[in-house]
Copies of this chain bind each other. A is one copy, B any other.
Amino acid sequence: MHGLPLQVSTVIIPTGATEQHGPHLPLGVDAMLSRAIAAEVARQVGALVAPEFSYGYKSQPRSGGGNHRLGTTSLGAAALTGMIDDVVSSFIDQGACNVIVLNGHFENYQFLYEGLDNAVARAGRQGSGSRGVLMSYWDFVDEHTLAQVFPDGFLGWDIEHGGVLETSLMLLLHPELVDMDRVVDHPPAVLTPYDIFPEGPGAHPRQRASFHRWIAC
């Protein structure tokens, strides 16, 4: 019934989080980066960029975060899954052929998967040929780049939360939002191979510094 303008058949939905990223970065890093990357890709391929998801799933210690940190403000599974399902369904109803979800917050992935899978499957059962794609931007950083950025060896994405790559990207895209005076130089985080509930606030001292940055967002 509806149709996108003829020249546009692809929508990109950037997703992020509201989450501490150390004292030098604003809370919205994940959404800012996925939005910026989406905008550049959209410019090159002629796609539309949807308003980004500013809130994401609970930040987790195993991927370098922690939901107890001040400023980190999260959604549960049902809200995030329902949100992506509704938004994707709405774009498919409008005639989008390809709905790309570009993720910028590690913990979102599986919940975006559920919502996107449900929306595309439901539409498909009613005759739609629309497709969905889900990806996280860091999965497209190639070996060469990693070798340049980490000459001593790349230690894994899980400890890169608020780390060298996110800081570099922010310096490139939003330098005015990075406070280099407050960068903390510490050895790589040692993350546990399990999660404990309730999350141990003792292990992760609260870092209030970046909280006032909201207004600036």
Contact = CB atoms under 8 A, between A and B. Distances in A.
Contact of A215 (B39, B91, B217): B39
Contacts of A22: none
Interface residues of A, number: 77
Nearest to A31: B51
Nearest to A135: B194
A177 interface: no
Interface of A: 1-5, 8, 18, 28, 31, 39, 42-43, 48-52, 54-55, 57-58, 60, 68, 70-79, 81-83, 85-87, 90-91, 94, 107, 109-111, 113-114, 116-118, 120-121, 124-126, 131-135, 139-140, 193-198, 201, 206, 208, 211-212, 214-215, 217
